[in-house]
Structure 1
Amino acid sequence: MTDIMSREIQLVSRPNGMPTAANFAIATTKLEPLQEGQVLVRNLYMSVDPYMRGRMSDRKSYVPPFALGKPLDGGAVGEVIESHAKEFKQGDVVISSLGWREYFIAAPKALHLVSPDIQPLSVYLGALGMTGMTAWAGLNLVEVKDGDVIFISGAAGAVGSIAGQLAKLRGCRVIGTAGSAEKVKFLQEECGFDIAFNYKTAPIIEQLNQAVPDGIDVYFDNVGGETLEAALSVLRTYGRIIACGGISGYNEESPQAGPSNLFNMITKRLTMKGLIVSDFLDLQDKFEQEVGSYFRDGKLKNKETVVVGIDQAVSAFIGLFAGKNIGKMVVKLD
């Protein structure tokens, strides 16, 4: 193996509120010689995701915070350049959590082999990746079934757009919110949502009451805040909530106030379940088989917003909080 220099994105300071470019730096490192049992991978695509914002703060959570002066972690699709491990060979396509860098060396257990026949390969970060699996696992978590009326917030994002399509395939009536007319059109015309509306044009509760006067059975929460409060008002008795995310509060410097109508959890006998996709990794093969078949058959669409170059990764990440993505935001490494 000749000397390989790899650029990587490091966290150099912890954000206060909205992250800025000053919180990050691009560093160049020289890879160590490849050892027996190791694999050299060149990343082709990397993922930027809202959950990463939580790991930039130095507080206890379900995963450790990112270390300062070290490369960030995140989903990536790469190609094996050289292998000293029997499990992989040169040219294999793999997914890993070692994004935010151009090259890396890892043990086989850090890699998951995928088929190069499915294109684009970035789909393994979207519909067939952890965001797609989050959507699939969330629907299973509260047993979403034929005939359910489901409301999805952040519906034009990576998770929401897949959750809506999968719910339609189960026979549900699907309602979604998004932040622009373009995104509303995407939900209705490409994802097949029955109803979609722009939460910026009128109060969410008013638009929900108009869209579903008889209420909803399930709320897939990617936003929290005002949208969660509205959902608590329109959920039917014995309704279910999938607590997947709360992007409206990720950059708040102090905690948001909770819903004023939380007592509805009691009076309506609601169920609310938290969702962390890593709890479902033992079902990854089942997910890939089921959702992969939908994708191959053209029943599931994978929408992407693609930026090019590792030097654009930080702006792509920050853009998530300004709603600059439709579907999955990915970075193509050049």
Structure 2
Amino acid sequence: MAAKSLIARAPVRVDLTGGYTDVPPFDAGRPNGTSVNIAITLYAWATFRDRRDGEPVADGFVEELRAACAGVLGLDRRRTRPMSVEVDVPAGCGLGTSAAQGVAMVRLLAADRGIPLNPKEVAEAAAAAERHLGIVGGWQDQYASSYGGANVVISSADGRHAHPLGPAFQAWAAARIVIALPATVRRGAALVEDVVRGYATHRVRASLGDLDRLAADLCGVIRLGAYASLPKLLERVREAQERLDQRIVDPDFLPCLESAGVSTAKPCGGGGAGAAWLIIEESARIPSIRAALHRAGVRTVAPAVDHQGAVVLDGRSTGAAVP
């Protein structure tokens, strides 16, 4: 199969909890760090692109990340082909777009070179590529994108492991999830770096402890099937995010959500102005909420749960996954 016909697809995610707790140095010395996330049917797409003789390799984030992914896989960066990457949502919106791009690139490079990688290896390689570039971030996004589905990702003494949440919870979530995308362009890197710099303060450490405990509570509720308790827990997650840094919860966007009738929402990822928000509501209320947000100029999407994770497709045919 011609390499240029391959397309790698990797989902973005929503995080129920775990934002910041997976970011170094926060994840150090925490043997049971926990993140809960859901991969959704919005994707990063990576494919090889042709380059004319003498044409310079494109600059920018895509090229830097491609080179870093190649290096992590032990490939000669200069001899791997340039790529094109597209994402279904705005880059940097808090849905793990950079991680999904890296995961798609790793899958594409591995498929092209015949390197067998399991989902864990793909996730770790993509996370290592971002760390190589000096990007401040964690690892839960890469695991969500690589594995797909809904997962509890736990950091333990023997490494990180993804534990799938059952189909009952995934069906419950799929019927209730809406993503709100503010028109503001998010610039989240500076916010994440500021929070990391405050690691030594009591406020930051206490807030991280709260988020860890809430993650454990959330996992317990999900395993018991007590889904009616989840909205209240997500509200507590949002409050803990705000204690971590007030800028994580955009005070200008929250009133917009409340005016539209939203009762349960939290900023995704690192949050901040312009970040996507996860909304969880009863399915009967979703159409009126989306209509109200549309009138307010807010784009919304109601994605399904992605069950495949990162896959490589044959771009020449019907999009069937390549074994």
TM-score by length of 1: 0.26
Higher strand share: 1
Q: Which has the larger radius of gyration?
A: 1
Structure holding more helix per residue: 2
Asked which structure has the greater RCO (Cα within 8 Å, sep 6+), the reply is 2
Normalised by the length of structure 2, the TM-score is 0.26
